[in-house]
Amino acid sequence: MTAAALPPFRQSPALSLGVELELQLVSLRDFDLTRAATDLLGSLVADGSQGDIKLEITESMIEISTLPQSSVDGIASDLAGLRDILRAQACRHNIAICGGGAHPFHRWPDRRICPGERFDALYQRYGYLAKQFTVFGQHVHVGVASADDAIWLTQALGVYVPDFIALSASSPYIDGEDTFYQSARLNAVSAFPLSGQCPPLADWADFHRHFSFLQACGIAQSIKDLYWDVRPKPEFGTVEIRVCDTPLSIEKACALTALAQSLAAWLLRERPALDTAGQAHVARYNKFQACRFGLEATIADPLSQTTQPLRARLSRLLDVLEPDARALGCAHWLEQLRNAFIPGHGDAEWLRARRTALGNLNDVVREAGQRWLDGPENGN
């Protein structure tokens, strides 16, 4: 692949939204991952009126993406429509479709890379990491008015990466074993050389210089090579939050989208002080804490040079964001995130509880598939 020029930053309505969800394709025989993506999409009947369904890097996963929307309710409508399409298709192909950040017991050597020039190039470049990248995340795009705002918001949102990780965590099992992590998925992402936090950057011109430097050194070929936790997406005119595990329900995905929209609104208006240099030093530690302990994490604050419980910070944040959420029409979605504060209500905790109740991970995946397709009220 040859290096691609950095696209110009496209204007988009401020605080507009888009969501991408990576989903598991599992066999109804044993609920292991199955190679079904190409066949599934080959027979798909969809007009694109509620978004897109497309291949991801291996044949055991797909990605659904909404249309650009002004509200979380619009995102919810698109995701529900895409879920309805997939429910019918899954039945025809004798497969189940699941949320969750990682399949609990699949073997990465069994994965097959999807056909396509970019997927093949990734496999040639990263080797086995490409197959181990069969993990499943939610990406939230938030529209911004200018390129400079995009760079500022990318770094401001970086402070809240642990909050998004803890609230979305749904990958406690890897290779059939409890990892003791709430989100083990991000360990697979962290193996890539350009993962992690956006470096301290002043504005769009500074980002352009940084990206050109990476290209000149042969480190990056396109902006897709930047596996940052939060990154600008110039062709969409958005900032993209990339750290969330795929939740076990689209309702939880909408609640996380409400957090992204209301938080971006508050940040862009209030412009709180940022210590980008200090944040660069604590980002990896804070990310580990959230992945390992979820809401029980203790995170470092570079501004006060203290540590604080993530649960307490997040509770205060939800209170602060309530007026913005009301103004944006997403307060009912944001309120759902408070349920995650109740012991046993997080997705990782739900998976562990079902493993204890059912005695095996195969049935856990079966119930997770029911939960995603039918909604959490039918997911035990």
Measured between alpha carbons, how far is 85 from 100 in angstroms, rounded to an integer?
19
- Given a cut of 50, whether residue 378 has pLDDT beyond it is no
* pLDDT tens by residue, 349-361: 999 999 999 999 9
- Given a cut of 90, whether residue 342 has pLDDT beyond it is no
- Residue 154: which residues within 8 A CB-CB, separation 6 or more? 198, 201, 228, 230, 231, 232, 239
**Domains of the chain with CATH codes:** 17-372 (3.30.590.20)
Q: Are 281 and 302 in contact (CB under 8 A)?
A: yes
Query: Given this model, what pLDDT does residue 72 score?
Result: 98
| 1 half-sphere exposure, CB direction, 13 A CA radius | 22
In this structure, which amino acid lies at residue 332? H
Report CA-CA distances (Å) from 367 to 253, 312, 345, 376: 18, 32, 16, 10
- Residue 218: which residues within 8 A CB-CB, separation 6 or more? none
* pLDDT tens by residue, 99-111: 999 999 999 999 9
Q: Are 58 and 111 in contact (CB under 8 A)?
A: yes
Query: Given this model, what pLDDT does residue 340 score?
Result: 79
What is the average pLDDT value for the chain, to the nearest integer? 94
Measured between alpha carbons, how far is 340 from 352 in angstroms, rounded to an integer?
15
pLDDT band at 64 (very low <50, low <70, confident <90, very high): very high
Measured between alpha carbons, how far is 11 from 361 in angstroms, rounded to an integer?
46
Query: Given this model, what pLDDT does residue 344 score?
Result: 75
- Given a cut of 80, whether residue 194 has pLDDT beyond it is yes
Name the token pair of 342.
Answer: 């109740």
Q: Are 67 and 138 in contact (CB under 8 A)?
A: no
pLDDT band at 341 (very low <50, low <70, confident <90, very high): confident
* pLDDT tens by residue, 260-315: 999 999 999 999 999 999 999 999 999 999 999 999 999 999 999 999 999 999 99
H helical segments located in 127-184: 128-132, 147-158, 161-168
Q: What is the mean pLDDT of residues 190-205?
A: 93
Q: Please give the share of the chain, as a percent, with pLDDT higher than 90.
A: 87
pLDDT band at 134 (very low <50, low <70, confident <90, very high): very high
| DSSP-derived secondary structure letter, 171 | B
pLDDT band at 2 (very low <50, low <70, confident <90, very high): low
pLDDT band at 379 (very low <50, low <70, confident <90, very high): very low
* pLDDT tens by residue, 23-45: 999 999 999 999 999 999 988 87
Query: Given this model, what pLDDT does residue 186 score?
Result: 96
Measured between alpha carbons, how far is 275 from 141 in angstroms, rounded to an integer?
24
pLDDT band at 380 (very low <50, low <70, confident <90, very high): very low
Q: Are 28 and 94 in contact (CB under 8 A)?
A: yes
* pLDDT tens by residue, 138-150: 999 999 999 999 9
Per the DSSP assignment, residues forming a β-bridge with 183 are: 171
Report CA-CA distances (Å) from 266 to 77, 154, 261, 298, 316: 25, 14, 9, 24, 13
Query: Given this model, what pLDDT does residue 376 score?
Result: 55
In this structure, which amino acid lies at residue 287? K
Q: Which residue from 286, 284, 305, 281 is spatially nearest to 297, judged by alpha carbons? A: 286
Q: What is the mean pLDDT of residues 247-261?
A: 97
Q: Give the highest mean pLDDT range of 130-134, 193-197, 324-328.
A: 324-328
Query: Given this model, what pLDDT does residue 5 score?
Result: 79
